[in-house]
Chain A
Amino acid sequence: MEILQIIKADGDFDPKLEPEISEQDLLKMHKQMLTVRKFNERGMPLQRQGRIGFFMESTGQEACQVGSANALTPKDWAFPSYRDPGICLVRGVPLSTLWDQMMGNSVDESKGRSLPTHWSFKKWNIVTLSSPIGSKLLHAVGVAYAAKHKRDKVVAFASLGEGATSQGEFHAAMNFAGVYRTPVVFFCENNQYAISLPVRRQTASASIAVKAEAYGFEGFQIDGNDILAVYKATKSAVEKARAGDGPTLIEAITYRMGGHSTSDDPSVYRSSEEVEHWKKRDPILRFTAYLKNKGMLTDQENKRLQEETEQEVSSVVKQRLTVPPPAKSSLFTDVYSEMPWHLQEEADEFMRDEDNAS
């Protein structure tokens, strides 16, 4: 299977394949990738300091997130994975809102109920996700079915890791998407590891993309560390879905530079040589080289951008750390549309005891 690549590792590129993106938008995408990188750099230390309970890093996968999300329109529905802060940022979620979610504080839209990086931002059509992987793919198929049913030109975009492709729900989602030809794009960030297990132990298939063929729709591989390839492939899949020509499975080949989460040490299950090999394929270094080649960016300007982004992220984190946690009474709401009597009784008794104890 041919792998779509537009920018080579050294920043050289194939002008015949370049998508049409304005200089301004290219620079915006660069800035978005830098923001994701800085976001990630803050997550791990904050967890180690006990300021957040958990973190899932996505360093190395910035091109996947930023390239794909830029190919969507605001009315499309996005189902990012927990390794996709960049999809949220690109769709317009402010950094402060993202950190409110990470901290689970009193202004977090999800009321501090979900783990850090388990996004839910209604205003930006970013759908709540759980920790079991693969289950949300079916929700994307359902959203796509409903949009088609209502004659809306809306596309559902679902991101997943290669680990999720082992789940039964992946099979069900691919199968239903194929049968009903729903306007859905499955975007698999094959980052080579599902926690500790390498992709060759996840599947005996020649690729993830090849699986689409069995479900009756198109699948293809792209270089996931090449933001232009990601953008171009996603854009064409989204346009195809919007035109009523059914689903697509994109396999973006990338690498998870960090661990699975704050709970594992990746040096236990992979070599430093392997990590060094992928460091040379860093998506941000590559896009920086491309922008310099095109005369759109200088080293000096890039350095300034990095410092500026670092400053922005730091100041947001510092500021959001001052927001108080959710009120205890919020524990009991949103289980049902109306609180049933037994839960009301539990809540009343608890709050009364709390008041008496204080």
Chain B
Amino acid sequence: MLLNIVQGVNETLRGEMKRNADVVLLGEDIGKNGGVFRATAGLLDEFGSERVIDTPVAEDGIIGMAIGMSLYGLEPVVEIQFLDFIYPGFNQIVSELAKVRYRSGGHYPAHVVIRAPAGGGIKGGLYHSQSTEAYFTHTPGLLVATPSTPYDTMGLLRTAIRGSDPVIFLEPKRVYRTVKEEIPEDDYAIPFGEAKVMQEGDDVTLVSWGAMVHTCKAAADLAAKENISVELIDMRTLMPFDIETVLTSVRKTGRVVIAHEATKISGFGGEIAAQISERAIDSLEAPIIRSAGFDTPFPYALEGTYMPSPERVLRSIRKSAGY
């Protein structure tokens, strides 16, 4: 069936709720309203209000309650309306969700999946646009998924819900409806920690994740017109992350550009760059270049200027190729 990403999320949630009666959903406006992006549309009617739980507007409450539900044996899947709204629940994620397994010696693991639409490009201003995945990759105990396509979103979300670790599941909301894919009918799952080579190439390795992967594809197409062959890698998950696929590519091309929407300083691109230089510095023909969001808060009117465009990524590719 042909599905876009938000339909893929909806189908996956439905399937997992049918598969396991302990799966419950919590979030703001996820019931009758079906979520502000309609990711949970129809699920209240199908599963009832005990399993599709509309909550008060309090992210600390939602995430904290989900942790307790998980400790008692439910499988809560939380929707945070926008990633930008997650911070009232940050203490619950960082001090509690990420640490209960460790600090209890493995006796009280909490399995909560937190879905959050992430990234800019929808004219959302400061608080409906950010890409702050690095806050979560910096906290041991959390898994972080950053899919870019309907197929990957569904396969990774199944793995997240069927697993037993806390997951921050970042959905690429800018392409929620624009990217469509033919999806197999079977119940496939995609393991975390396996990157995907989206396009093979010989000259420059381009690493990205989330909605930025589509910007990078456009940049790679522009580069091809200039006879620069780009190998595009979609990381798919950042924790764990697949460094081997990146290294294999870097050993071939010797040149790397890492592109992400998140601000550059302390972004996850810095981690990938460090890993490459620790493991494959002899293969490098050029400095590793990052093409990232500027180190400012996310703006409203100048959103298009702030976010790396295909042209900006192309400039980084040219710089790498020409070094």
Contact = CB atoms under 8 A, between A and B. Distances in A.
A302 interface: no
Given A173-B61, A340-B240, A128 B68 contact: no
Contact of A176 (B61, B73, B92, B143): B61
B142 to A, nearest CB: 9
Interface of B: 24, 50, 55-56, 58, 60-61, 63-74, 76, 88, 91-92, 95-96, 99-109, 140-141, 143, 163-165, 193, 239-241
A176 B72 CA distance: 17
A198 interface: no
A351 interface: no
A201 interface: no
Given A130-B95, A337-B109, A337-B164, A172 B64 contact: yes
Nearest to B163: A337
B108 A176 contact: no
B105 A108 contact: yes
B239 A146 contact: no
A169 B103 contact: no
A150 B68 contact: no
Nearest to A101: B105
A342 interface: yes
B39 to A, nearest CB: 22
Nearest to B59: A172
Given A168-B60, A172-B61, A142 B70 contact: yes
Given A139-B67, A334-B105, A175 B58 contact: yes
Contacts of B60: 138, 168-169, 172
A144 interface: yes
A122 B24 CA distance: 24
B146 to A, nearest CB: 16
Contacts of B55: 176
B68 A146 contact: yes
B308 to A, nearest CB: 26
Contacts of A144: 68
Given A169-B92, A337-B164, A147 B72 contact: yes
A337 B103 contact: no
Contact of A109 (B63, B69, B107, B141): B107
Nearest to A140: B68
B162 to A, nearest CB: 12
Contacts of B88: 168
A114 B103 contact: yes
A110 interface: yes
Interface string A82-115: 0000000000000000000000000011110110
A145 interface: yes
B154 to A, nearest CB: 22
B240 A156 contact: no
B24 A149 contact: yes
Nearest to B143: A336
Contacts of A337: 101, 109, 163-165
Interface in A119-158: 120, 122, 127-128, 130, 132, 135-147, 149-150, 156
B102 A142 contact: no
A106 to B, nearest CB: 11
**Nearest 7 CB-CB pairs, A to B?**
A142-B68, A138-B64, A172-B61, A146-B72, A139-B68, A128-B104, A122-B107
A145 B69 contact: yes
23 contacts: A110-B104, A113-B102, A130-B99, A130-B103, A132-B95, A135-B92, A138-B63, A139-B67, A139-B68, A139-B96, A140-B68, A141-B68, A142-B66, A142-B70, A143-B68, A145-B68, A147-B72, A176-B56, A334-B101, A334-B102, A335-B102, A340-B193, A341-B240
A297 interface: no
A130 B110 CA distance: 14
B265 to A, nearest CB: 22
Interface string A329-358: 000011111001111000000000000000
A109 B106 CA distance: 9
A112 to B, nearest CB: 9
Given A138-B61, A175-B61, A143 B105 contact: no
B74 A149 contact: yes
Contact of B239 (A136, A141, A340): A340
A3 interface: no
Interface centre among A138, A144, A150 (most CB of B within 10 A): A138
Q: Which of A118, A334, A336 has the most CB of B within 10 A?
A: A336
A179 interface: yes
Contact of B141 (A120, A128, A333, A336): A336
B64 A142 contact: yes
Nearest to A136: B96
Interface string A313-341: 00000000000000000000111110011
B101 A145 contact: no
A138 B65 contact: yes
A98 B239 CA distance: 35
A135 B96 contact: yes
Most A-side CB within 10 Å, residue of B96, B104, B240: B104
